Chain A
Amino acid sequence: MRQTTASLSRGRPPPKRPPINLQGLWHNVGFRNFAYQLLVVGTIIGLAVFMVTNVQDALSKRGISTGFGFLFEEAGFDIGEALTGFESTDTFLLAYGTAVLNTLKVSVLGVVFATALGVILGIARLSSNVLISKLSSTYVELFRNTPLLVQVIFWYTIITKMPHPKQAWSLSDWAFLSNRGLNVPWPAANPVYFWTALAFALACLSAILIVRWADARRRRTGHKIPVLWWNIVLVLAAPFLVWWFGGAPSELVIPKFKGFNFVGGVSLSPEFLALLLGLSLYIAAFIAEIVRSGIQSVSRGQIEAAHAVCLSPGDTYRKVILPQALRVIIPPAAAQYVSLVKNSSLGVAIGYPELFNINNTIITLSGHTLEAIGMMMAIYLSISFTIAAIMNLYNRAVQIKER
């Protein structure tokens, strides 16, 4: 319609205003667009007002106050695994904090395990060894094509069917697996460990900087510096030296069976183990597929070209295959990580105290359904968006630089 009116009006010198009538107005694209939008937005606002009045009606009838003031009231319930040392006399706000930490704990470990296993499986699937590639593809098909919730419950069933702590499966009396979960030895607390970890982090950082410097130098002068061995020495030696001069603490607290349960070391609950196992094994199957398609996306010619210019196998991998494969791998892998965090909410099915589970308890105890659901949604959204933003930054770093 726009084209016809425009072309008609073009050849005529005195532009006559179209008479304002209802039909003409409706044929005006700008007005029609405006009307459509007004209609949609109006409907939604109307619905929202309708819902809010209903909610206010219902709440005032039940005598429930609204607002986030309840967050500072005493929670009055306990959380099984609390990194914050949460107790029932603490506030609801701290309960949220504890729940978020539990969600993040299982998610971060899950991302690490899923990535490690996924990369191994993805490479194994491309292996020329038939047995290895078949095993890997069987794994991927099995775990990708069944619901995560069934897997989590499956693992939980297996762990709770383990023997009682008295007859726990033990690894030469160091680690114990029983129906109370996994108990592993842990180093006795000592400030030296903190400095060792710091030294390790600094060594890794300087190793990266050294590689960059060596690359830049080679590009400028053509001389190759064998930095790899120096870096390995640096990364291993720095933390070791700090640990050694810190008095070399080596005391481990080994779990011991006392009374009804294990004491000492680190204890991982059956709920945590089942959820971690389920999430990592499930997401690993997807990561494996992503890694496989990423590596396959690098064309054969690229690798042959790298050989032709005499790049070493290590350099071929680091400078030719990896940068190109990462471009294909990162966006879908980021989506899988977000999905892992969101799926940690399945902990509710087996009683792991993560955000969704704790939020249910908070709703029951405080009665503030709307506020609590709002809190939970906001927390999940901010976690998802943060991961997406970090992965976007990383993605931008590995994308093709147009020169």
Chain B
Amino acid sequence: MLTLLAMWALFVTIPDFISWAFINAVWQTDDSKDCQVAAGACWAVITEKHRVMLFGTFPYDEHWRGVLAIAIIIILAVISGFKRFWSYRLFLVWLVATALVFLLLLGGVFGLKPIGTYQWGGLPLTLLLFVGTVVGGMPLAVLLALGRRSSLPAIKALCIGFIEIIRGVPLITVLFMASLMFPLFMPEGVTINKLLRAEIGMIMFFAAYAAEIVRGGLQAISLGQYEAAEAIGLSYWQKTNRIILPQALRIVLPALMSDVIRAFKNTTFVSIIGLFDVLGATATALEDLLWVRYALEAYIFIFILYFVFCFSMSKYSAHLERDLSEGRNL
């Protein structure tokens, strides 16, 4: 019965969709008038506008730098997926890579043409914001989690306050605060780059959520581990770095992955405060009056783009969860 109902629903919707999306669609044209005549989707908006959607207002001749930046980040992400490369050193590699990508886009060194951050946009910006959030947020998250479990009352209170306040408000208000209130708090004449302000907001938000997950991992480590580490005379930081954290992080890795995926999705929020990530750049591309009526097709395109990134991360995370739990059962 249910099968019939579901099949009927599919039967009604799928042929319509296929004829709209494929059969009657316009795939390539320079002239948006061709799309007005056609009955189907206008995918030509993507062939026409993909450079703006993917790179924003980044100078056209320098797009190769954006491509290189994307390639560095994706290749490094794939490499980090293999368990044999996991170590504290991997984190340092990411730190260096982030700085490298930043320099690559900024230019001004190695004979690269300098490009101001206000011109950055599209996928390189989205990926850089994302990587910056995770790379900058993870150490802060670990510190906050340790602080929340600390025996020092003042530090504990500060960490709890920070975590709970940030978790209690929407990300957009944190970003808004970072972009509106930082300039007020700074002495006159000192300005912090808009991109950097957004990044600080994203890092704070990510760290507050990730800290709670790390704390769960710290709690899952048996008391014996703590006591054994103390018994052989390790100091607090030796104990934390060598005994507790490696175990705790391993336990919470799948849960952390869902936060990482959320951080990727959350990069779209920066388009509200006026940065041109993929979503913001797409909105700019659609300001062209000739193509504005094909917004739906453009949004379907970036919908798929975001899906590809998030879905591969979530599949990897599911694989990791199985992999790690198998290891524990042995």
Contact = CB atoms under 8 A, between A and B. Distances in A.
B180 A149 contact: no
Interface in B116-147: none
Interface stretch (A54-62, A93-101, A248-256, A272-280): A54-62
A373 interface: yes
A397 interface: no
Interface stretch (B87-95, B183-191, B246-254): B183-191
B7 interface: yes
A57 B187 CA distance: 8
Nearest to B154: A37
Interface string B286-315: 000000010110011011001100110010
B181 A147 contact: no
Contacts of B78: none
A380 B181 contact: no
B269 A132 contact: no
Contact of A377 (B173, B302, B310): B173
Contact of B303 (A131, A146, A343, A369): A146
Contacts of B306: 145-147, 150
Interface in B164-186: 165, 167-173, 176-177, 180-181, 184-186
Interface string B11-45: 00000000000000000000000000000000000
Contact of B169 (A146, A154, A381): A381
B269 to A, nearest CB: 7
A144 B314 contact: yes
B185 A373 contact: no
Interface of B is mostly: helix
A385 B268 contact: no
B168 A146 contact: no
A377 B154 CA distance: 23
A341 to B, nearest CB: 8
Q: How many residues of B sit at the interface, in one of the four size bands?
A: 35 or more
A92 interface: no
A161 B268 contact: no
B184 A58 contact: yes
A36 to B, nearest CB: 6
Contact of A349 (B168, B181, B272): B272
Interface in A42-57: 44, 51, 54-55, 57
Contacts of B7: 131
Q: Which of A150, A157, A380 has the most CB of B within 10 A?
A: A150
A386 B316 CA distance: 36
Contacts of B267: 147
A362 interface: no
A290 B152 CA distance: 36
Given A131-B7, A161-B296, A356 B170 contact: yes
Q: Which of A37, A145, A158, A370 counts the most chain B CB atoms within 10 A?
A: A145
A-side interface size class: 35 or more
Contacts of B223: none
Interface string A144-180: 1111111101100110010000000000000000000
Contact of B152 (A36, A51, A61, A377): A36
A336 to B, nearest CB: 12
Contact of B265 (A40, A51, A148): A148
Given A36-B152, A145-B314, A153-B299, A54 B307 contact: no
Nearest to B299: A154
A364 to B, nearest CB: 11
A338 to B, nearest CB: 8
A54 B184 contact: yes
A391 to B, nearest CB: 14
A33 B310 contact: no
A377 B2 contact: no
A385 B168 contact: yes
Given A55-B185, A132-B2, A150 B279 contact: yes
B325 to A, nearest CB: 14
B269 A149 contact: yes
Given A129-B3, A150-B306, A381 B295 contact: no
Interface of A: 33, 36-37, 40-41, 44, 51, 54-55, 57-58, 61, 127, 129, 131-132, 135, 141-142, 144-151, 153-154, 157-158, 161, 342-343, 345-346, 348-349, 356, 363, 369-370, 373, 376-377, 380-381, 384-385
Given A141-B311, A343-B170, A370-B184, 16 more contacts: A36-B155, A40-B154, A55-B184, A129-B2, A135-B6, A145-B261, A147-B265, A149-B268, A342-B171, A346-B172, A356-B172, A369-B180, A373-B173, A373-B180, A377-B165, A380-B170
14 contacts: A54-B188, A141-B311, A147-B265, A147-B266, A150-B302, A153-B279, A157-B295, A342-B170, A348-B172, A349-B272, A373-B177, A376-B173, A381-B168, A381-B169
